[in-house]
Amino acid sequence: MTQEPQISFIIPVYNEEHNIALVFKNLFEVINKHPDWNSEVIIIEDGSKDSTKQVIIEELKKYHSFELILHEKNQGYTRSLKDGISKSKGKYLMYIGADEEFDCSEVPHFVDLFLNNPNEKIDIVLGVRWQRNAYKLFRFFLSIIYIFLLNFMFKLRINDYNWSQAWSREVIEKIQLTSNSLFVLPEIIIKAHDLNFKIKEIPSNHRGRQTGKSSVNMSIMGKALWESIKFWKFRNSKKYNPSV
């Protein structure tokens, strides 16, 4: 009988031909040191326009336990994340970006709060980029303003909404994700908070992108902000149910 994985790592990928191989290598080195996690790694290739798909297929010859979901056409980050969540079987799930900005050596700090923390039940672990030295000034201020607006609208004190996160299966099964934008990660946090799940923030290093270009632009940020406003209005209505 196959043992169910403790941890499912979910990696949505789009146009990361120069970064994804190193992400795989660094993550594999970490989970290889922790066989007790019985990890699974789910990669969602979202119809990249560069050679990302070919790079992933070649790299997976080295990592036979990694699973691949292929989108023939680009369906967006949120669809990729949701597909990875649906495919996952772990008791805990962790989202990791494919751009190599997150340092995979930090993964045990997230996982240990679930598996080796007998005195406190943690449901969500959020990485917090206290320093964002790799960001250009304009994007840095955009991020700060976005966090301030979300905290103001939803009456929370979260320091980073869109970085690597880890969730218990209980959280993911309790809520239904409705977002179709980058607001999907804040949606998880807000609904989990409303359902009284325990959220823990830990410091995380922001290494910055070494190669390639981020797909995040003003249009994508604008859509996330618009969705957050619509969700704020709905959350303040009598129809709101965080489980829906």
Question: Cα Rg for the chain, rounded, in angstroms?
Answer: 17
Helices H / strands E in the chain, number of each: 8, 7
How many C-beta atoms surround the C-beta of residue 130 within 10 A? 11
In angstroms, the CA 170 to CA 226 distance is 28
- From the list 80, 100, 101, the residue with the least C-alpha distance to 20 is 100
Whether the CA torsion 16, 13, 125, 218 is positive or negative: it is: positive
Name residue, tokens 């340092």: 103
With respect to residue 218, please indicate whether it lies within any of the assigned structural domains.
Answer: yes
Cα gap 26→31, rounded to integer Å: 9
Count of structural domains, the chain? 1
Q: Is residue 51 part of a domain?
A: yes
The residue segments making up the domain with residue 189 are 7-235
Q: How confident is the model at residue 2 (pLDDT cuts 50, 70, 90)?
A: low
Closest CA to 102 of 120, 86, 121, 126: 126
Residues 53-63: tens digit of each pLDDT: 999 999 999 99
- Mean pLDDT across the chain, nearest whole number? 92
Confidence band (pLDDT; 50, 70, 90) for 132? Answer: low
What is the predicted pLDDT for the residue at 138?
Answer: 63
Tell me: the pLDDT tens digits for 166-189? Answer: 999 999 999 999 999 999 999 999
Take residue 38 and report the two structure tokens written for it: 């019985």
Q: Quick one: pLDDT at residue 79?
A: 96
d(CA 241, CA 230): 15
Query: Quick one: average pLDDT of 71-83?
Result: 96
Q: Is the pLDDT of residue 1 over 50?
A: no
Distance set, CA 152 to CA 157, 195, 217 (Å): 9, 19, 23
Residue 26 sits in a domain whose CATH number is 3.90.550.10
Query: What's the pTM?
Result: 0.92
pLDDT at 215: 65
